[in-house]
Structure formats: C-alpha cells, structure tokens
C-alpha cells in the first residue's frame, strides 16, 4: 500500500538532526552539546499552577483559540515587551507549540507551487511543512552575510511566485538576529506586496546585546505578518507544548479553521500553566538569559582560541562554528567527533546545504559539561 501514500509525504525525510541522533544513540562516554532546550527546570510556581488546574478540574475542552485569560496575557506581554497590539478576542490563537503554529499558518496561506523564502542555514522544521502545504522552499544563502537574510538578499530572490518570507530570528542554528534598522528595510521592501511574513520569534526572550524587535511592530507590514512565539524556550516548558500566533483578524479567522480541525484546542492544563508563566512569571527568562550570556562568552572565547571561524550569536543558545576539517560532509565529521572524541554536536548540513562545513553547538548546558565538551573538541582539532 506504500505506493498509494501522498507523494508530498513520501518526498520529505526525517530531519538530519534525528538521523544523526539515531546513529549515535547508545554510544558510551559521549559529551552531548546537541539539545535545543533549556537545562533549567520549569519554575516551581508554574508547576504549582499546573497541579492546581488539575485539582480545579480544568481538564475539559477549551475554546479552539485557547482560554481568553491566556490570550489576554499574550496580548499584554507582547504589547509591553515588543510594542505589538493584537486583540485577544480575534487576533491570537494558542497552539500546540510553535511547531503547530507554523504548520497551520503555512497550510492556510500557501497554494501549490508558491514559493517561500527562508534563510540558509535554517532550522529544518520549515522545509517539510512548506512542501506538505504544496509550496516550494527557496533557501537564501546567508553565509557571507553573517547568516542574516537582509532586504537586499530577499529582493534578489523575489519572483511572481513568492508568497511568504520566513524570518526565524533569533536563529536556530546560528543565534544571530536582525537589528531594528535591518527589519525596517525588510518592512519597506515587502509593504504593499502580496507576500506574507512569517516571523518565528520563539527565542525572542533570549537576546544578549539588544532587546528583541518584532517586524510586526512596523505598522506598514502588520496586516501581512504572522508572529509566532511560545513559552517553551522562555520558561523551560518544552514538554507543555504551548505556543501562540498573532495575526491580523483577516488572516487569523482562516488560520483558526485549520487549527480547529487539526487539534481542536491546546491541552487545557498546559494553558493554565502558560497563563501563570505569562503573568506572574513574565520575567522568569531573565535569570536563564543571564546564565546563557555567561556560557556564551565562555564558549566563544574557547572557540576563538581554537582558531575557529564563528559569528557571535545575538540570541537563543546556539553557536555555529565552521570547522576546517577535510571530511566530505558535516554529517561525516559529526560521526568522527563521536567516535574519536566522544563529543556530539549537530552537523551543520542538517540545516540545509548552506550549513555544510559547520557544526551546531548548544550552550544550554552547565559550565562543567561545556568545559569538558570543548576540551574534547580542542583535543580532536589538535590532531587534525
């Protein structure tokens, strides 16, 4: 029966990240700097709110878009921190993580054959969803531009088939982000064009040099922009699976239809946990961010001492060094690092062909683990 499977599904593959993990799982004495989630526990007050929601029997279906108090909290937080103004009644949807928000958005706006522009290297979760929606992913090479997809690069790739531009900043895997001036140039380029902007801002709370700026704060592109955020990274709540999207009511009403038939509603008790996170705990990320900043400084110092080319990350908790080793692919190098150095990093080619030659290192680990991992990397490179 496999021959009758949807070709859009048959033509996508398991992510390169997962393939790599499957190959190296079970290896002994391996230091892993791979994971893309905070190493902090969910704050205690959020866990208590989750338990209270169960005790209060908040275990039934909720409105499709999520409970109104949570949507109001999302409005308040994004307005206070990023200057956004999306109505809690009809411009916000609570989703099952940011991933589901991306999925339902793309399935709503993309028609077969339409193109979606996104940077390369980039998180591998976008391309399959674009293809499943019938779209065509167009990666833009950002390697010579400090991994930034700027207005000029976008302009060079716009065609009459372009339907959406994805701005995933701060970036996974590079950690870079766009400045307010760079975002304004993109806004001026795309305003009044029939092109959607999908702004994946899941790492917006984890920035180090300047506060995060959302492209949706530019009024001229607000109507065509869908903002995606969530509590996974900001509050160490990856398993709660709560994300949210903000969009003009003219777009949101259509996304809600896809969302409704996709999941009905997000998990009720997780919504109450997120409500606690975005009200009482709206600044919980500050402690984590301070720790990440210290780790970031240490990792950058060590990598530069090894003579590696690395673009300093502005946010998230990743760094994306280029390793001058003669292996044919980053994937091959990743396997060698595991076998010869007992170190697991994510191969850069998992993030599109433009990640070839790079490795993603996560510093969402304590200093002891980071030091040991970097010692192993330095020893490996000294033998090449």
Q: What is the pLDDT of residues 80-107, one digit of tens each?
A: 999 999 999 999 999 999 999 999 999 9
- First CA to last CA across the chain, in angstroms? 49
Domain with CATH 3.90.1150.10 in the chain: 2-42+284-382
Element (H, E) at 75: helix 68-82
Model confidence at 265, in pLDDT bands (50, 70, 90)?
Answer: very high
Q: Are 86 and 247 in contact (CB under 8 A)?
A: yes
Domain with CATH 3.40.640.10 in the chain: 44-278
> Which DSSP string do the residues of 116-143 spell out, in sequence order?
EEEEES--TTHHHHHHHTT-EEEEEE-G
Q: What is the pLDDT of residues 171-214, one digit of tens each?
A: 999 999 999 999 999 999 999 999 999 999 999 999 998 999 99
338: DSSP letter: I
- The answer to whether domain 44-278 has CATH 3.40.640.10 is yes
Q: Are 343 and 30 in contact (CB under 8 A)?
A: yes
Topology (CATH level 3) of domain 2-42+284-382: 3.90.1150
Q: What is the pLDDT of residues 115-125, one digit of tens each?
A: 999 999 999 99
Quote the CA–CA distance of 229 and 207 in Å, as a whole number.
14
> Can you read off the two tokens belonging to residue 36?
């893309």
Using DSSP, state whether 298 is helix, strand or coil.
Answer: helix
Quote the CA–CA distance of 331 and 357 in Å, as a whole number.
9
> Can you read off the two tokens belonging to residue 352?
């599109």
Q: Region 224-229: what's the mean pLDDT?
A: 98
Give me the pLDDT at residue 37, please: 86
Q: Region 302-319: what's the mean pLDDT?
A: 96
């Amino acid at each position: 029966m496999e021959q009758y499977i949807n070709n859009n599904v048959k033509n996508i593959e398991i992510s390169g990240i997962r393939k790599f993990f499957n190959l190296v799982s079970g290896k002994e004495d391996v230091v892993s700097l791979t994971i893309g989630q905070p190493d902090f526990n969910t704050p205690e007050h959020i866990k208590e709110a989750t338990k209270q929601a169960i005790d209060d029997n908040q275990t039934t279906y909720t409105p499709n878009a999520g409970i109104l108090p949570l949507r109001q909290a999302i409005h308040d937080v994004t307005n206070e921190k990023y200057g956004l103004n999306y109505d809690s009644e009809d411009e916000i949807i609570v989703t099952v993580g940011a991933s589901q928000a991306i999925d339902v958005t793309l399935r709503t706006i993309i028609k077969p054959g339409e193109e979606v522009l996104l940077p390369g290297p980039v998180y591998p979760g976008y391309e399959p969803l674009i293809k499943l929606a019938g779209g065509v992913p167009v990666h833009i090479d950002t390697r010579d531009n400090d991994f930034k997809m700027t207005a000029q690069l976008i302009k060079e790739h716009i065609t009459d088939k372009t339907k959406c531009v994805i701005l995933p900043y701060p970036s996974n895997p590079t950690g870079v982000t766009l400045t307010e001036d760079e975002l304004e140039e993109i806004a001026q380029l795309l305003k009044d064009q029939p092109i959607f902007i999908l702004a994946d801002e899941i790492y917006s709370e984890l920035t180090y040099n300047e506060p995060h700026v959302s492209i949706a704060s530019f009024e001229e592109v607000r109507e065509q922009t869908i903002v995606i955020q969530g509590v996974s990274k900001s509050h160490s709540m990856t398993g709660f699976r709560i994300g949210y999207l903000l969009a003009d009511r003219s777009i949101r009403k259509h996304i809600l239809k896809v969302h409704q038939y996709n999941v009905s509603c997000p998990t009720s008790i997780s919504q109450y946990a997120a409500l606690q996170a975005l009200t009482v705990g709206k600044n919980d990320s500050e402690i984590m961010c301070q720790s990440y900043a210290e780790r970031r400084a240490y990792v950058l110092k060590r990598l530069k001492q090894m003579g590696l080319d690395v673009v300093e990350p502005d946010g998230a908790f990743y760094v994306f060094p280029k390793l001058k080793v003669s292996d044919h692919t980053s994937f091959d190098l990743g396997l060698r690092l595991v076998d010869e150095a007992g170190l697991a990093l994510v191969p850069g080619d998992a993030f599109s062909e433009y990640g070839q030659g790079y490795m993603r290192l996560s510093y969402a680990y304590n200093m002891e683990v980071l030091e040991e991992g970097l010692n192993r990397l330095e020893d490996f490179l000294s033998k090449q």
